[in-house]
Structure 1
Amino acid sequence: MAREDEYERFDREIEAMGVRIKDADSVKVRDDVFDEVTLIALYKLVHKRLISAIGGPISTGKEANVFYGERDEDEIAIKIYRIQTANFKAMTEYLAGDRRFSSVRGTRKGIIFAWTKKEYSNLARAYEVGIPVPEPLAFDRNILLMRFLGEDELPYPQLRNAEIEDYGAVYRQILDYIERLYRDARLVHADLSEYNILYHEKPYLIDMGQAVTLDHPRAPAFLIRDIKNLNRYFSRYCDILDEQEIISAITGTEYREPSRPGEGMQS
């Protein structure tokens, strides 16, 4: 009963800001998501007229929940990093070598706020050079707003669940994205897999929070891991290219098998 009362209070507070609650039953996944810090961030985004409706969850996880939302006539995705359960220690591996976030405080909230800003920045860099990613719209504290990738309030399927006619063509498209991400956006995705790629007529890269700049000490190892993951998945469906040739073509450097973390390429 107390939990129901809390949900009703949440609904009243959100609706008092002029935000419609769509699909109220499914929004009850919000338990442990909409804490005080998150509500403050939500208030700020609503007052900026960036959110007009909140719907049900698109995806749920230990690190973050993504909700369907609307901004007037536009469909948006509302990604909320979970302050209490997100693995902020793992996040520090990606933040530590990134000069953009070298001054981040080591508190749980500080790291998660920086991670949210980092994903917004990474998406912006990728989007600006024409790589298909969710268009970043705004962020505040642990909330990131993006353009929704889907139709009729349903997200595009993950690559692993998509109906694909020509796997070879999709494989080559993603390799092109990786190269453009590296050369034009100066980023390595660092967690590329069939779970972090959506597909609808073409592939879209998502979940860019862990992406690192090329001067990150582990960028070469992350790039190699991305290529290995891509080849692992597509080898079931089509001919794949040699990992060494792919990495050498992308980076313009000689590839060698890493003997310990952080190694992998040499000029």
Structure 2
Amino acid sequence: MKNLDRDKLLEKFDREVEKLGIRLKEADEFKVMENVFDDVTLLALYKLVNKKHISLIGGSISTGKEANVFYGEDWEGKPVAIKIYRIQSASFKTMSEYIAGDPRFSSVRKSRKEIIFAWTKKEYSNLMRAHDAGIRCPKPLHFDRNILIMELMGEGETPYPQLRAVDHDEIDMQAVYDEVMESIDTLFNKANLVHADLSEFNILFDGEHPVIIDMGQAVTPDHPKAIKFLVRDIRNINRFFKRFCNIKDEEEFFKKVVGEHRMTP
């Protein structure tokens, strides 16, 4: 995109959000992050603003491998997380592995843009399934193109810490472990999902309970690699927790989760 075209788009965005009463925090930082706020993203953000899903767009609160998350507020002033998948730098090949074989997205074309749009929709759908099944996770609110708006899991503008970063001597790690393992079971048997990337990096801690996040890659049990991913999730969680508490036998827990649907990983 030419700088002139981008400048015009930013000027239009500024005028429109001002007209709608949207507040921009750290506007300069917002505008210079060209690898995040390209023309497609700005247009998607404009649509979400125009539909009054956002009343404030704040600064960055986290940066991941594929996406940036920004603080925001809805029209009632409630905090939300605005997750923006980077179209230019997200791992296209990695995303394709999880989408290919998912019957929900079998019609998606294999262009970078279409894969990322499908990934955003996929995370919205996965979070909704998990939330409805009773999993502690962000409630998804809205999405458009490569932008997902969801409940902010944190206090004020600060997200809860990752499980890996908390003081493990100050909490009951056995109880946390048991709850995470129960979540794996619930995801499979009630939400009909396998997280497929579960680890101490994708679990927050709210002071009492673990909170599961980052579910764009989650797959349904009929995905060709679902069982392999489930085994990996179980092993990752046991690897992390074995230093802090008693862990379950991986094979026995796997059999408990999949039950009569057991397959060879």
TM-score, normalising length: structure 1:
0.90
Q: Does 1:15 align with 2:22?
A: no
Deviations 1:34-79 (A, max 9, x none): 1110111111111111011011111113411000000022110000
- Name the SS for the 1:252 alignment partner: helix
Match of 1:251 in 2: 258
Match of 2:83 in 1: 79
Shift of 1:237: 1.1
CA distance in 1, matches of 2:219, 2:64: 22
Mapping of 1:79-118 within 5 angstroms?
Answer: 79-118=83-122
Mapping of 1:86-235 within 5 angstroms?
Answer: 86-164=90-168, 165-200=171-206, 201-235=208-242
Match of 1:259 in 2: none
Shift of 1:28: 5.6
Shift of 1:9: 4.1
1:158–1:199: 8 Å Cα contact kept in structure 2? yes
Match of 1:65 in 2: 68
Match of 1:31 in 2: 34
Shift of 1:11: 7.2
2:202–2:213: 8 Å Cα contact kept in structure 1? yes
Deviations 1:244-266 (A, max 9, x none): 1110111115979xxxxxx51xx
- Name the SS for the 1:105 alignment partner: coil
1:168–1:239: 8 Å Cα contact kept in structure 2? yes
Identical residues among aligned pairs (%) = 58
2:79–2:156: 8 Å Cα contact kept in structure 1? no
1:66–1:78: 8 Å Cα contact kept in structure 2? yes
Are the structure 2 counterparts of residues 171 and 104 from structure 1 closer, same or farther at C-alpha, using a change threshold of 3 Å? same
CA distance in 1, matches of 2:151, 2:80: 5
Are the structure 2 counterparts of residues 26 and 149 from structure 1 closer, same or farther at C-alpha, using a change threshold of 3 Å? farther
Are the structure 2 counterparts of residues 53 and 214 from structure 1 closer, same or farther at C-alpha, using a change threshold of 3 Å? same
How many equivalent pairs are there? Answer: 256
Range that drifts further, 57-66 or 140-149: 57-66
One-letter identity of the residue aligned with 1:36 = D
CA distance in 1, matches of 2:11, 2:160: 32
Match of 2:52 in 1: 49
- Name the SS for the 2:116 alignment partner: helix
One-letter identity of the residue aligned with 1:133 = C
Q: Which runs of 4+ in 1 moved over 6 A?
A: none
Range that drifts further, 208-217 or 85-94: 85-94
One-letter identity of the residue aligned with 1:245 = E
CA distance in 1, matches of 2:113, 2:261: 40
- Name the SS for the 1:193 alignment partner: coil
CA distance in 2, matches of 1:36, 1:219: 35
Range that drifts further, 55-64 or 90-99: 55-64
Instruction: Please list every run of 5 or more consecutive structure 2 residues that lacks an aligned counterpart in the other structure.
Output: none
TM-score, normalising length: structure 2:
0.90
Are the structure 2 counterparts of residues 156 and 28 from structure 1 closer, same or farther at C-alpha, using a change threshold of 3 Å? farther
Are the structure 2 counterparts of residues 93 and 132 from structure 1 closer, same or farther at C-alpha, using a change threshold of 3 Å? same
Instruction: Please list every run of 5 or more consecutive structure 1 residues that lacks an aligned counterpart in the other structure.
Output: 257-262
1:11–1:21: 8 Å Cα contact kept in structure 2? no
Range that drifts further, 73-82 or 57-66: 57-66
- Name the SS for the 2:61 alignment partner: strand
